[in-house]
Chains A and B, each alone.
Chain A
Amino acid sequence: MFGDYEAQRHWQEITFNLPIKQWYFNSSDNNLQYWGLDYPPLTAYHSFLCAYVAKFINPDWIALHSSRGYESQAHKLFMRATVLIADLLIYIPAVVLYCCCLKEISTKKKIATALCILLYPGLILIDYGHFQYNSVSLGFALWGILGVSYDWDLLGSLAFCLAINYKQMELYHSLPFFCFLLGKCFKKGLKGKGLVLLIKLACTVVASFILCWLPFFTEREQTLQVLRRLFPVDRGLFEDKVANIWCSFSVFFKIRDILPHHIQIMISFCFTFLSLLPACIKLTLHPSPKGFRFTLVSCALSFFLFSFQVHEKSILLVSLPVCLVLSEIPFMSTWFLLVSTFSMLPLLLKDELLMPSVVTVMAFFIACATSFSIFEKTSEEELQLKCFSTSVRKYFTCFTFLPRIIQHLFLMSVITMILLTTMTVTLDPPQKLPDLFAVLVCFVSCLHFLFFLVYFTIIIMWDSKTGRSQKKIS
């Protein structure tokens, strides 16, 4: 298996055998073309730690140069164990604590929520099947969300900085954090407590960054090289097949080839920020934990759909916030999480994970359906679309069929996903279009994600109106 598994093993080899100054640089000992390090320093330190343990068990696993492509049962067991340990230490406690702190729901529902979140197929398949350490960065982000939602702002921001320093993709979540904390400072009054909080937060962030990057701040060239590895702007608008706008758009219009490089960057920048601006502004003006969660979803989704060099695994960054709102809108969340797993189908099939995917998706679906009775929760109020529908009904009085439309859409969506999966597995694509099924999967998923983006944005925007009107009344 010469994919991410070998990459992680190689990073252990590099970080253990070479001095820190050489980790991100191309050299005779460190060929950056062969799975060079392209995650921030915390990943490197984690690999170093794992390599240290590996040395005790079998030094051959991380021997410089000679361990390339090393594969054995014992080594596989060790690597998988490292993922499990990381999961147990960081991600799972965060999920459990989050569910314990949920308000206004029974203990049974809390346990059910925790179970459903932990059963989310996407994370299990990518971390344990494809092999990655997403649970670490997502876990840290979740600790950050917990801290910030329950007014432990400094600890929360520290945790989130750790998340960003583990995987730079967590920057997708950074804007909501920034807006929420800024909003809190504004609320406390910028002339007094707010300013104090702002300064404290700034210091925390700067301190944590300095701490993580300390070895790389010694020389300007070091810092620049790390940044170059983290943000490969030379690589283009997208790579491989991913369920975002640019890849789907390129089916009709080869945008990658036609437009020059810097224009591509500008366009993606503009679209991304335009789509997430309303929600972020709202969060800054009216900070609330609920608004924070939904803004995380819509921000991450905007970044996924419109940003630069997005990988299909980045959908996990959207799935985490959606898992957090599972108890509030179970129907739509379950639907989204199923689609997110489906969007990674080409990747999962490449790793020969068809059977585990099918089994985990079914288990997740059954768990959600039995715990939340999702099919009974499709009324307007349950979908949190009541305010929106009321507003629309002022202009179109016959707009009462929203739940029914959504139910039908769900059915169609599930049938399409099952059909596409079956086709991809059983049929061979035509000679002229070898990537037909992968492209179809991406295209269908992209349409779904656009729909969800609109949905979540509506919830955020119309939620404020009730808040404001209620305040006016009282």
Chain B
Amino acid sequence: MAAFGIATGGSNWFSALALGVTLLKCLLIPTYHSTDFEVHRNWLAITHSLPISQWYYEATSEWTLDYPPFFAWFEYALSHVAKYFDQEMLNVRNLNYSSSRTLLFQRFSVIFTDALFVYAVHECCKCIDGKKAGKELTEKPKFILSALLLWNFGLLIVDHIHFQYNGFLSGLMLLSIARFFQKRHMEGAFLFAVLLHFKHIYLYVAPAYGVYLLRSYCFTANKQDGSIRWNSFSFVRLISLGLIVFLVSALSLGPFLALNQLPQVFSRLFPFKRGLCHAYWAPNFWALYSALDKVLSVIGLELKLLDPNKIPKASMTSGLVQQFQHTVLPSVTPLATFICTLIAMLPSVFCLWCKPQGPRGFLRCLILCALSSFMFGWHVHEKAILLAVLPMSLLSVGKAVDASIFLILTTTGHYSLFPLLFTAPEKKSLFLIGWKLSTSLAWDLWKSSVNLYSLSPPGT
């Protein structure tokens, strides 16, 4: 009795937070789910029923496998548990199959794999220095960070309603960031390499990783003023990093290289035929660009400056995923978006190279890379904003300036996710929860940012 009492005593708020949000996720099981549910069921079926050589060729369903091989192996592992719930879901021909057991299994798999995310949050909290914190639990930066990450409203909508597996993937990313803070760079690099082969969207932030590791890990020391000391370059470190990346990639892509399927895999992973904007527009630059194009074309038609016959019939606002030509402004090619993204990333990457400020500087660069790619990338999903929001939480408990930026970012980011909630009951309940969460967390954030905390001292 006494031991149980101590375990559930008032000081173990982290477990209470984690358990609380897990219980909330259980309540979200019967809510609306999107086509992503069928996508993952299909992938379970493909990886379970077909040999590896067929995985990236199978096209019975329109939702073909378009994540890297590690995710396919992950689905394969899940399918072995799935067969105890409902054997029928593993049949490739059972399109849109969603019995109650299938739903239960899939939802529980997301909740279960979120354990990695919980562990990553725990590790991130260790990197926070809360010495100047107040006595109140709700003012401690560790508590605020845990609440911001574990109860992240956007993650709840995307993972537990809309249905995706971003929880454990974000967990991998946060874990690699935490390892960098703890000076365990090799582990961090390994985790990121693995992450890339789970979901290649994390290429958005790869430049930050690359530059940081090269600058702050391969060059072991700096000059007095912080600039680069060329003779401190360590080939050993460079080679070991390269080896890690090579081994992970070999493990992932090796089998497909042996089967001569690499071009097919890459065409699935990078489907440039899908068009500049997703069905629901991500709120990025190209959305504004297309909107401007539409406005100008309407004005042009009104003022008889444009010939109606020359205007392409396909519309960007039709909600379909397809190639598109702009009418007034020049059409955008994938290469153009790539160049714009690179230009947007350049300042932060440049700063990371010239004046590294340790893990905190790396974190800033990572967030900026994620935001640049979100802003100018090709076929960006609105869910990609989570790549910027989650790491930003780490910065927000550090300085007041970051906290205020975070408040704007998280509010607009989560608001932009609302179109994912298709049905009215979900909208109502999540709006209530989200409003409650954001107001209470905003209040705590504001109160804590009034006292100045700092993250662990910048390493060199």
A interface, CB within 8 angstroms of B: 73-74, 76-77, 80-81, 355-356, 358-360, 362-363, 366, 369-371, 373-376, 378, 407, 411
Contacts of B339 in A (CB 8 A): none
**Is B425 an interface position by the 8 A CB rule?**
yes
Is the CB–CB distance between B425 and A76 below 8 Å? yes
Contacts of A355 in B (CB 8 A): 26-27, 29-30
Contacts of B13 in A (CB 8 A): 370
Is the CB–CB distance between B1 and A73 below 8 Å? no
Q: Which 4 A-B pairs have the closest CB atoms?
A: A375-B5, A369-B8, A359-B23, A359-B26
Given contacts A74-B424, A363-B23, A378-B1, 5 further A-B contacts (CB under 8 A): A81-B428, A355-B30, A362-B19, A369-B8, A375-B8
Choose among A77, A363, A373, A407 the residue that contacts B10 (Cβ–Cβ < 8 A): A373
Choose among A81, A363, A370 the residue that contacts B8 (Cβ–Cβ < 8 A): A370
Name 15 interchain pairs, CB-CB below 8 A, sorted by A: A73-B425, A76-B425, A77-B424, A80-B425, A355-B29, A355-B30, A356-B27, A358-B26, A362-B23, A363-B20, A363-B23, A373-B8, A375-B1, A375-B4, A375-B5
User: Please, which residue of chain A has its CB at the minimum distance from the CB of B427?
Assistant: A77
Bits for B69-83, please: 1 = Cβ < 8 Å to A, else 0: 000000000000000
Q: B106 CB to closest chain A CB, in angstroms?
A: 15
Is the CB–CB distance between A73 and B423 below 8 Å? yes
Is the CB–CB distance between A366 and B425 below 8 Å? no
User: Please, which residue of chain B has its CB at the minimum distance from the CB of A376?
Assistant: B5
A366-B26 in contact given A77-B424, A375-B2, A407-B1 (Cβ < 8 Å): no
Contacts of A360 in B (CB 8 A): 23
Choose among B1, B9, B27, B424 the residue that contacts A359 (Cβ–Cβ < 8 A): B27
Q: A451 CB to closest chain B CB, in angstroms?
A: 19
Contacts of B30 in A (CB 8 A): 355
Is the CB–CB distance between A77 and B425 below 8 Å? yes
B interface, CB within 8 angstroms of A: 1-2, 4-5, 8-10, 12-13, 16, 19-20, 23, 26-27, 29-30, 423-425, 428
**Complex-state Cα separation, A376 to B13, whole angstroms:** 18
Contacts of B425 in A (CB 8 A): 73, 76-77, 80
**Complex-state Cα separation, A23 to B408, whole angstroms:** 54
Q: A76 CB to closest chain B CB, in angstroms?
A: 7
Is the CB–CB distance between A373 and B9 below 8 Å? yes
Interface centre among A74, A76, A363, A370 (most CB of B within 10 A): A370
Interface centre among A77, A80, A81, A411 (most CB of B within 10 A): A77
Q: A221 CB to closest chain B CB, in angstroms?
A: 44
**Complex-state Cα separation, A73 to B428, whole angstroms:** 13
Compute the total of residue contacts between A and B using a CB distance below 8 Å. 51
**Complex-state Cα separation, A369 to B12, whole angstroms:** 11
**Complex-state Cα separation, A81 to B431, whole angstroms:** 13
Is the CB–CB distance between B16 and A370 below 8 Å? yes
**Complex-state Cα separation, A369 to B15, whole angstroms:** 12
**Complex-state Cα separation, A407 to B2, whole angstroms:** 11
**Complex-state Cα separation, A470 to B452, whole angstroms:** 53
Interface centre among A76, A358, A363 (most CB of B within 10 A): A363
Q: B140 CB to closest chain A CB, in angstroms?
A: 14
Q: A399 CB to closest chain B CB, in angstroms?
A: 20
Contacts of A366 in B (CB 8 A): 8, 16, 19-20
Q: A353 CB to closest chain B CB, in angstroms?
A: 11
**Complex-state Cα separation, A80 to B429, whole angstroms:** 11
**Complex-state Cα separation, A366 to B30, whole angstroms:** 23
User: Please, which residue of chain B has its CB at the minimum distance from the CB of A361?
Assistant: B23
User: Please, which residue of chain B has its CB at the minimum distance from the CB of A373?
Assistant: B9
Contacts of A369 in B (CB 8 A): 8
Interface centre among B2, B9, B23 (most CB of A within 10 A): B23
Is the CB–CB distance between B10 and A370 below 8 Å? yes
Q: A335 CB to closest chain B CB, in angstroms?
A: 13
User: Please, which residue of chain B has its CB at the minimum distance from the CB of A364?
Assistant: B23
Contacts of B23 in A (CB 8 A): 359-360, 362-363
**Complex-state Cα separation, A366 to B23, whole angstroms:** 11
Q: B160 CB to closest chain A CB, in angstroms?
A: 13
Interface centre among B8, B19, B20 (most CB of A within 10 A): B8
**Complex-state Cα separation, A324 to B101, whole angstroms:** 41
Contacts of A376 in B (CB 8 A): 2, 5
**Complex-state Cα separation, A378 to B20, whole angstroms:** 26
User: Please, which residue of chain B has its CB at the minimum distance from the CB of A375?
Assistant: B5
Q: B22 CB to closest chain A CB, in angstroms?
A: 9
Is the CB–CB distance between A77 and B428 below 8 Å? yes
Contacts of A378 in B (CB 8 A): 1
Q: A105 CB to closest chain B CB, in angstroms?
A: 14
Contacts of B428 in A (CB 8 A): 77, 81
Contacts of A362 in B (CB 8 A): 19, 23
User: Please, which residue of chain B has its CB at the minimum distance from the CB of A404?
Assistant: B1
Q: A115 CB to closest chain B CB, in angstroms?
A: 11
**Complex-state Cα separation, A48 to B112, whole angstroms:** 46
Contacts of B20 in A (CB 8 A): 363, 366
Contacts of A356 in B (CB 8 A): 27
**Complex-state Cα separation, A371 to B8, whole angstroms:** 9
User: Please, which residue of chain A has its CB at the minimum distance from the CB of B19?
Assistant: A366
Q: B151 CB to closest chain A CB, in angstroms?
A: 14
Contacts of A359 in B (CB 8 A): 23, 26-27
Interface centre among B1, B2, B12, B20 (most CB of A within 10 A): B1
Contacts of B1 in A (CB 8 A): 375, 378, 407, 411
User: Please, which residue of chain B has its CB at the minimum distance from the CB of A407?
Assistant: B1
A370-B27 in contact given A73-B423, A81-B428 (Cβ < 8 Å): no
Contacts of B10 in A (CB 8 A): 370-371, 373
Contacts of B26 in A (CB 8 A): 355, 358-359
Choose among A73, A76, A77, A370 the residue that contacts B9 (Cβ–Cβ < 8 A): A370
User: Please, which residue of chain A has its CB at the minimum distance from the CB of B137?
Assistant: A108
User: Please, which residue of chain B has its CB at the minimum distance from the CB of A74?
Assistant: B424
**Complex-state Cα separation, A151 to B334, whole angstroms:** 75
Contacts of A80 in B (CB 8 A): 425
**Complex-state Cα separation, A410 to B5, whole angstroms:** 14
**Complex-state Cα separation, A73 to B425, whole angstroms:** 8
Q: A366 CB to closest chain B CB, in angstroms?
A: 6
User: Please, which residue of chain A has its CB at the minimum distance from the CB of B425?
Assistant: A77
Is the CB–CB distance between A373 and B5 below 8 Å? yes
Q: A6 CB to closest chain B CB, in angstroms?
A: 19
**Complex-state Cα separation, A370 to B16, whole angstroms:** 8
Contacts of B12 in A (CB 8 A): 370
Contacts of B2 in A (CB 8 A): 375-376
Q: B2 CB to closest chain A CB, in angstroms?
A: 7
Contacts of A370 in B (CB 8 A): 8-10, 12-13, 16
Q: A86 CB to closest chain B CB, in angstroms?
A: 15
**Complex-state Cα separation, A143 to B23, whole angstroms:** 31
Q: A383 CB to closest chain B CB, in angstroms?
A: 14
Q: B12 CB to closest chain A CB, in angstroms?
A: 7
Contacts of A76 in B (CB 8 A): 425
**Complex-state Cα separation, A425 to B424, whole angstroms:** 31
Q: B29 CB to closest chain A CB, in angstroms?
A: 7
User: Please, which residue of chain A has its CB at the minimum distance from the CB of B27?
Assistant: A359
Q: B438 CB to closest chain A CB, in angstroms?
A: 19
A73-B8 in contact given A355-B29, A362-B23 (Cβ < 8 Å): no
Q: A380 CB to closest chain B CB, in angstroms?
A: 15
**Complex-state Cα separation, A373 to B11, whole angstroms:** 10
Contacts of A77 in B (CB 8 A): 424-425, 428
**Complex-state Cα separation, A375 to B7, whole angstroms:** 10
**Complex-state Cα separation, A1 to B136, whole angstroms:** 47
Contacts of B5 in A (CB 8 A): 373-376
Contacts of A73 in B (CB 8 A): 423-425
User: Please, which residue of chain A has its CB at the minimum distance from the CB of B138?
Assistant: A108
**Complex-state Cα separation, A453 to B110, whole angstroms:** 45
